[in-house]
């Protein structure tokens, strides 16, 4: 039996929820003869099952663009995102993770997608990677808690819903949600963008290159200077790359001081 994409992701999300509750094996009410099973063909392992992938329908993308264009402020945009039914990720998420920080900030940080902690709390970057991001920003005098726009940051993601098992966002998912993100940028009107991780860089810079090639130089998104930086989750796994991230942060700080 084949599953529709939204059915697959919903079932996967339900399985992940059971694992979080402590279920670590399947138990049947019917006894299984393991000796007899040896004569049967080997079953396909779960890891070999591939999710059906389909491009976002044109009418869904058009609807996202129409809804985003009609939002005159952040409250309207948040409501439009929360009620948008075109992305299957919404059905498996606990919360819509919209944004955090000061909307008047000069710097807008754009990550990729919520993780488990973010999905539970409804705020971006609050897990281990979020704590590292806060430390990185603090090192150049920035904070999501600051009221002064010179020291403030505003944080959001390419996707407002957690992908199952924290997998990478799919291109059709990010493309579908791009109109909301672009309208988000228009409403915030930041002086600078910090693009965190590959998905945000690839979507907004329209490239297949990763952060390793994109970092260390200035880009532009909708006329706004943008800096590419490694995702804090990657830096936790590869701490040696923190020196490169520090160089990118200093580049942003210098640019802010110049303007």
Enumerate the β-bridge partners of residue 224.
221
Q: For residue range 162-200, list pLDDT tens digits in order.
A: 999 999 999 999 999 999 999 999 999 999 999 999 999
C-alpha radius of gyration, the chain, whole number: 21
Task: Judge whether 26 lies within some domain.
Answer: no
Whether residue 26 is predicted with pLDDT greater than 90 in this model: the reply is no
Task: Evaluate whether 137 touches 112 at the Cβ level (below 8 Å).
Answer: no
**Spatial separation of the C-alpha atoms in residues 22 and 16, rounded to whole Å:** 10
Whether residue 234 is predicted with pLDDT greater than 70 in this model: the reply is yes
Confidence band, pLDDT 50/70/90 cuts, at residue 54: very low
Phi, psi of 190 (to 5 degrees): -75, 160
Q: For residue range 73-130, list pLDDT tens digits in order.
A: 999 999 999 999 999 999 999 999 999 999 999 999 999 999 999 999 999 999 999 9
Identify the pLDDT of residue 259.
86
Task: Judge whether 40 lies within some domain.
Answer: no
Average pLDDT over residues 228-249: 97
Task: Judge whether 120 lies within some domain.
Answer: yes
Percent of the chain past pLDDT 90, that is, above it, reads 76
Task: Judge whether 28 lies within some domain.
Answer: no
Task: Judge whether 107 lies within some domain.
Answer: yes
Percent of the chain past pLDDT 70, that is, above it, reads 78
Q: Which domain holds residue 111?
A: 58-258
Task: Judge whether 171 lies within some domain.
Answer: yes
More confident of the two residues 196 and 25: 196
Whether residue 222 is predicted with pLDDT greater than 90 in this model: the reply is yes
Interior angle at CA 171, CA 165 and CA 177, nearest 5: 90
Would the pTM count as exceeding 0.85? no
Task: Judge whether 9 lies within some domain.
Answer: no
- Quickly tell me which residue has 């603090």 as its tokens: 138
Domain count, the chain: 1
Q: What is the CATH number of the domain that holds 242?
A: 3.40.470.10
Whether residue 160 is predicted with pLDDT greater than 80 in this model: the reply is yes
**Spatial separation of the C-alpha atoms in residues 177 and 172, rounded to whole Å:** 9
Identify the pLDDT of residue 31.
56
* Average pLDDT score, the chain: 87
Whether residue 23 is predicted with pLDDT greater than 80 in this model: the reply is no
Identify the pLDDT of residue 11.
67
SS (H, E, C) 21-77: CCCCCCCCCCCCCHHHHCCCCCCCCHHHCCCCCCCCCHHHHHHHHHHHHCCCCHHHH
Whether residue 40 is predicted with pLDDT greater than 80 in this model: the reply is no
């Amino acid at each position: 039996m084949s599953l529709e994409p939204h059915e697959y992701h919903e079932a996967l999300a339900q399985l992940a929820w059971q694992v979080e509750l402590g279920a670590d094996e399947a138990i049947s009410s019917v006894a299984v003869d393991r000796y007899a099973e040896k004569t049967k063909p080997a079953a396909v392992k779960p890891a070999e099952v591939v999710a059906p992938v389909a491009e976002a329908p044109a009418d869904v993308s058009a609807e996202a663009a129409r809804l985003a264009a009609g939002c005159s402020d952040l409250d309207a945009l948040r409501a439009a995102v929360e009620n948008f039914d075109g992305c299957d990720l919404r059905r498996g998420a606990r919360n819509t993770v919209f944004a955090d920080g000061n909307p008047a900030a000069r710097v807008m940080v754009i990550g990729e997608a919520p993780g488990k902690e973010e999905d539970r709390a409804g705020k971006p970057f609050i897990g281990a990677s979020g704590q590292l991001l806060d430390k990185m920003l603090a090192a150049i005098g920035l904070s999501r808690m600051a009221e002064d726009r010179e020291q403030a940051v505003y944080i959001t993601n390419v996707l407002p819903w957690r992908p199952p098992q924290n997998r990478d966002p799919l291109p059709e998912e990010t493309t579908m949600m791009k109109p909301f993100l672009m309208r988000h940028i228009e409403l915030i009107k930041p002086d600078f963008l910090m693009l965190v991780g590959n998905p945000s860089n690839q979507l907004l810079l329209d490239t297949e290159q990763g952060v390793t090639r994109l970092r260390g130089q200035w880009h532009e998104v909708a006329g706004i200077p943008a800096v590419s930086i490694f995702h804090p989750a990657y830096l936790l796994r590869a701490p040696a790359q923190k020196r490169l991230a520090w160089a990118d942060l200093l580049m942003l700080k210098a640019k802010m001081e110049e303007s």
